[in-house]
Amino acid sequence: MATAKIDTVADAEITVDKNLGFIGALPGDIVLKIFSHVSQQDCLTCMATCRAWDRAIPEYSQLTWKKLVIEPSDTYKNGQRRERCLGSHVKQVDIYATEESQLYLLMQRLVNWGCTEIESLELRMHRFTVDQDACIAALRKLAPDLVHLLIAGSQSMTLLPYILNTYPELTYFKSRRTGGLQHRNLTTIPIYRDTKIQYMHLDYPMDKAQLECTLPKCPNLRCFGIDQKFLGPFHSRSFDLDLLFTWCPKITYLSTNFVSNYGQFENAGDYMSDHVGIRYVNITDHYSRDQLARFLEQSQNTLEVLAITK
């Protein structure tokens, strides 16, 4: 087989088969561009046409497989072909699971496929809880260099300190609770070192002790959202704004009221810049006049949006 070597966007070499008709005559970057617009299912269909395509497409379509969705309802039709399309070039994975054993099975399957350089991971754990140590161990094995993590599930609130201790390089963390809010007396887990987290969205309340354990270890935080509206044990249902800006001096976006402001936080990235000072604030009305006046005086030169809601 006549071949030529080219580099992908990720600087990995792929082999171009010169015996594949007009495709083999095209420049390597054009071949990659073509296959970046081919769906994953179409890649599998093309692989079934002949041995030459079956051999070549896993290399040509690496950009197509950069993002992967894994869920229990997968029929795994053409499973062997799909496995051959996967590997270290898979960088973003969404996992849907309905029970703990299923979650670990899907994560192990990714490891077996060589998908161990994942940078962005979404775990959607609907209506079941996990053993924290087992979950963290599975995450370490699957994604040792994780920088972006979303967890959807009732237990996302208990995993946060373990996540921050495991991934000090993490820059993005978002939680989304499923079902009703469960009030729990949670053990406060210390964060052992400063993190690089810049974007943190907590779709649940945290008590004072938890916040005082977590936020001082987030000096790079720029966008912070937390749902305080249904906060139970938190003293006065608010936290000290002065302390927040001492702990997180780079913060530019703050929201404590997701019930009325959930959609807006999806655009919080617009405020994540090198801009110095707070730009957007949406808070509940549980702060004293003196604290609000002090905050407004300190932020008058940078604040663009202020919303105070009940």
Instruction: Count CA within 13 A, CB hemisphere, residue 77.
Output: 8
Tokens at 169, concatenated: 């390089």
Q: Residue 74's pLDDT band (boundaries 50, 70, 90)?
A: low
Q: How confident is the model at residue 59, as a pLDDT?
A: 86
Q: Residue 149's pLDDT band (boundaries 50, 70, 90)?
A: very high
CB 268 within 8 A of CB 225: yes
130 vs 121, higher pLDDT? 121
Q: How confident is the model at residue 220, as a pLDDT?
A: 93
Question: Which residues are bridge partners to 237 per DSSP?
Answer: none
Query: pLDDT (tens digit, 9 = 90+) per residue, 234-248?
Result: 444 456 788 888 999
Q: How confident is the model at residue 77, as a pLDDT?
A: 55
Q: How confident is the model at residue 53, as a pLDDT?
A: 85
The mean predicted confidence, pLDDT, of the chain is: 79
Pairing of strands 3-7, 13-17: antiparallel
CB 53 within 8 A of CB 47: yes
CB 242 within 8 A of CB 291: yes
Which ranges of the chain would DSSP assign to H, the alpha helix?
21-25, 28-35, 40-47, 51-60, 79-85, 100-112, 132-142, 156-166, 208-214, 241-247, 258-265, 289-299
Tell me, yes or no, if the pTM score tops 0.85: no
Q: How confident is the model at residue 156, as a pLDDT?
A: 64
Q: How confident is the model at residue 221, as a pLDDT?
A: 93
pLDDT for residue 93 is more than 70: yes
Query: pLDDT (tens digit, 9 = 90+) per residue, 12-56?
Result: 455 566 666 667 777 777 888 888 899 999 999 988 888 888 888
Q: How confident is the model at residue 238, as a pLDDT?
A: 56
Q: How confident is the model at residue 244, as a pLDDT?
A: 87
Q: How confident is the model at residue 66, as a pLDDT?
A: 94
Query: pLDDT (tens digit, 9 = 90+) per residue, 219-231?
Result: 999 999 887 654 5
pLDDT for residue 250 is more than 70: yes
Q: How confident is the model at residue 11, as a pLDDT?
A: 41
φ, ψ of residue 303 to 5 degrees: the values are -65, 130
Q: How confident is the model at residue 236, as a pLDDT?
A: 45
Which residue is it, tokens 């994975």? Answer: 93
Q: Residue 149, SS3?
A: strand
Percentages helix, strand, coil for the chain, rounded to the nearest 5?
35, 20, 45
CB 196 within 8 A of CB 171: yes
Q: How confident is the model at residue 272, as a pLDDT?
A: 62
pLDDT for residue 273 is more than 80: no
